[in-house]
Amino acid sequence: MSNNTKKPEADYTFRSEDDRPKKRTCLNCRSNFTSEGWGNRLCTSCRSRT
């Protein structure tokens, strides 16, 4: 693996299981929502409030 070109959209397959869109529990209100990725741990309503 010498080709190290990074493209954000094509990176999903190399990421961990947690770093892709999936169902998560909101850290703030504990409701289930679809997370957009690793840094997304709040549901849409909680994020819009902050």
Report the distance separating Cα 26 and Cα 7, nearest Å: 28
- Cβ-based nearer residue to Zn ion, 20 or 41: 41
Shortest distance (Å) from residue 15 CB to Zn ion: 23
Q: Name the site residues for Zn ion (rule: CB under 5 A).
A: 26, 28-29, 43, 46
42, 26 contact by CB (below 8 A) = yes
- Cβ-based nearer residue to Zn ion, 2 or 50: 50
Which amino acid is located at 16 in the chain? S
- Cβ-based nearer residue to Zn ion, 28 or 40: 28
